[in-house]
Amino acid sequence: MGAIFRREFGAFFTSSIAYVFLAVFWLFTGYFFDFNCLQNGTTDMSGMFQNMFLICVILIPILTMRLFSEEKKQKTEQGLLTAPVSIGSIVFGKYFAALLLYTIALLMPFVYALILSSFGMVEWGMVFANFLALFLLGAAFISVGTLISSLTENQIAANVVTIVVLMALYLIDVVAGNVSIGWIVKAMNYLSFYRKYYAITCGLFNVSTVVFYISVALIFNYLTIRVFERRRWS
């Protein structure tokens, strides 16, 4: 797993995806920081974090689109799958490489919190909870993108489909608002990514939310492993 993780992380930088991702991610965090905190003269960063949900929907597919589609296209997949490593370690190696880059992007809000702390009291508990929520959200989204990347050999297709799927997850709440059948609304609310995320940005930290995001990440990574198993046996 270590070798795949290191190579993949390096590949983010050689393919310049890392620079694009970090630049755009930090551009938006910077803008929302300025807009929500500096302009309003507040140390409450929840507004910024709330806005970051949509940015993740758009930017995380850039991070994941290449992961497996490029291997398939360049036929390097064959080298990976005939190496003495398990499929699980291939999938998780790549997954954690993307997650590490995402985590690096998340360090910027801490810098902003430090800047704010020189002007006034920063609620560090809130900052950490928000950070954790954004991290878990990314962890779940990246696993979705990884699965989609393993289904195609076209990066653009992987990117677009991932954006659509993540957008659908984002819009679950909107749809739920237009449905009148009780149990469907309940189920949709339960599956809603945004509702859980929003609750944390408002200060309602809930262990079940943590479990939810981690479960989603594990389920989608498991599905990715199944994709490779299935292809081998087909």
**Number of H helices and number of E strands within the chain?**
11, 0
d(CA 135, CA 228): 27
Q: How far is the CB of 199 from other proteins (least distance, A)?
A: 42
Residue closer to other proteins (CB basis): 66 or 196: 66
Residues 6+ apart with CB under 8 A from 199: 206, 209
Binding window for other proteins (CB under 8 A); candidates: 1-9, 46-54, 101-109, 123-131: 1-9
Q: How far apart are CA 61 and CA 17, in angstroms?
A: 11
- Measured CA to CA, the distance from residue 212 to residue 132 in angstroms comes to 13
233 binds other proteins (CB under 8 A): yes
Residue 9 or 112 having the CB closest to other proteins: 9
Contacting range for other proteins; rule: CB under 8 A; set: 68-76, 98-106, 200-208, 218-226: 68-76
Interaction mask 21-60, other proteins, x per CB under 8 A: ----------------------------------------
> Which residue bears the tokens 């981690």?
214
Burial of 151-182, coded b for 16+ CB within 10 Å and e otherwise, reads bbbebeebbebbbebbeebbebbeebeeeeee
Provide, rounded to whole angstroms, the least separation between the CB of residue 78 and other proteins: 5
Give the count of residues interacting with other proteins (CB under 8 A): 24
Q: Does 80 bind other proteins (CB under 8 A)?
A: yes
For other proteins, which residue of 40, 78, 117, 189 counts as binding (CB under 8 A)? 78
User: Cα–Cα distance between 196 and 137 in angstroms, integer?
Assistant: 10
Residue closer to other proteins (CB basis): 82 or 208: 82
Contact (CB, 8 A) for 51 and 36: yes
The single residue among 11, 187, 214, 219 that binds other proteins, judged by CB under 8 A, is 11
The residue ranges that bind other proteins (CB under 8 A) are 2-4, 6-7, 10-11, 14-15, 74-86, 232-233
